[in-house]
Structure 1
Amino acid sequence: MIDSHVHFWNFDPVRDNWITEDMGIIRNDFIPNDILSTYQEIGMEGCIAVQANQSESETQFLLNLAAENPVIKGIVGWTDLKAENLAERLKHWKKFNLIKGWRHVLQAEQDDFILDDRFAKGVKTLDKFGYTYDLLCYHTQLKAIIKLVDKLPEQPLVLDHCGKPDVKTQALKSYEENIKTLAQNPQVSCKISGLLTEADWLNFTEKQIFSCFDIVFKYFGVDRILYGSDWPVVLVSRPYTDWFNLVQKYVAQFSEEDKMKIFCGNAERFYSLTVLSS
Structure 2
Amino acid sequence: MRIDAHQHFWKYNPQKHQWINEDMKVIQKNFLPDDLIPLLSQHQLDGCVAVQADESFYETAFLIDLAEEFKEIKAVVGWADLGSDALDKDLDQFSKHKKLKGYREVLQDKPVEYMLRKEFIRGIEKIGRRGYTYDILIFPNQLEATLHFLKRSPEQPFVIDHLAKPNIKLGIWREWKKELAPIAEREYVSCKLSGMVTEADWKTWKPHDFENYMEIVLEAFGPKRLMFGSDWPVCLVAAGYEQVFELVDRFTDKLSPSEKKLIMGENAVDFYGIKE
User: What TM-score results when the alignment is normalised by the length of structure 1?
Assistant: 0.97
Deviation of 1:248 (Å):
1.1
* Identity level (%): 38
Question: How does 1:208-227 map onto structure 2 within 5 Å?
Answer: 208-227=209-228
Structure-2 separation of matches of 1:2 and 1:99: 16
User: What's 1:108 paired with?
Assistant: 109
Letter in 2 for 1:130: G
Of residues 205-214 and 194-203 in structure 1, the stretch that sits farther from structure 2 once superposed is 205-214
Structure-2 separation of matches of 1:117 and 1:177: 27
Deviation of 1:67 (Å):
1.8
Q: Are 2:55 and 1:54 aligned?
A: yes
Ranges in structure 1 where 5+ consecutive residues have no aligned partner: none
Structure-1 separation of matches of 2:144 and 2:240: 33
Deviation of 1:205 (Å):
2.2
User: What's 2:268 paired with?
Assistant: 267
Structure-1 separation of matches of 2:242 and 2:195: 14
Q: Are 2:161 and 1:157 aligned?
A: no
User: What's 2:200 paired with?
Assistant: 199
Structure-1 separation of matches of 2:126 and 2:92: 11
Deviation of 1:55 (Å):
0.5
User: What's 1:28 paired with?
Assistant: 29
Deviation of 1:69 (Å):
1.1
* CA deviation profile, 1:135-173 (whole Å, cap 9, x unmatched): 000111111111111111000000000110110111211
Question: How does 1:68-79 map onto structure 2 within 5 Å?
Answer: 68-79=69-80
Structure-2 separation of matches of 1:95 and 1:12: 29
Secondary structure, counterpart of 2:254 in structure 1: coil
Deviation of 1:87 (Å):
1.9
Structure-1 separation of matches of 2:69 and 2:274: 18
Structure-1 separation of matches of 2:170 and 2:161: 20
Deviation of 1:11 (Å):
0.5
* CA deviation profile, 1:34-61 (whole Å, cap 9, x unmatched): 0111111110110000000000110000
User: Is 1:90–1:129's contact at 8 Å kept on the other side of the alignment?
Assistant: no
User: What's 2:142 paired with?
Assistant: 141
Structure-1 separation of matches of 2:250 and 2:175: 27
* CA deviation profile, 1:66-124 (whole Å, cap 9, x unmatched): 12111100000001111112123223321110100000000000112122121111112
User: Is 1:77–1:99's contact at 8 Å kept on the other side of the alignment?
Assistant: yes
Letter in 2 for 1:22: D
Structure-2 separation of matches of 1:24 and 1:85: 37
Structure-1 separation of matches of 2:209 and 2:148: 28
Secondary structure, counterpart of 1:268 in structure 2: helix
User: What's 1:123 paired with?
Assistant: 124
Deviation of 1:202 (Å):
1.2
* CA deviation profile, 1:157-205 (whole Å, cap 9, x unmatched): 0000011011011121110111111001111000000000000011112
Secondary structure, counterpart of 2:126 in structure 1: helix
Structure-2 separation of matches of 1:191 and 1:11: 25
Runs of 4+ in 1 over 6 A off after TM superposition: none
Structure-2 separation of matches of 1:189 and 1:4: 12
Secondary structure, counterpart of 1:39 in structure 2: helix
User: What's 2:15 paired with?
Assistant: 14
Deviation of 1:10 (Å):
0.4
Of residues 194-203 and 206-215 in structure 1, the stretch that sits farther from structure 2 once superposed is 206-215
Secondary structure, counterpart of 1:101 in structure 2: strand
User: What's 2:236 paired with?
Assistant: 235
Secondary structure, counterpart of 1:5 in structure 2: strand
User: Is 1:6–1:230's contact at 8 Å kept on the other side of the alignment?
Assistant: yes
Structure-2 separation of matches of 1:198 and 1:61: 28
Structure-2 separation of matches of 1:120 and 1:216: 26
Ranges in structure 2 where 5+ consecutive residues have no aligned partner: none
User: What's 1:169 paired with?
Assistant: 170
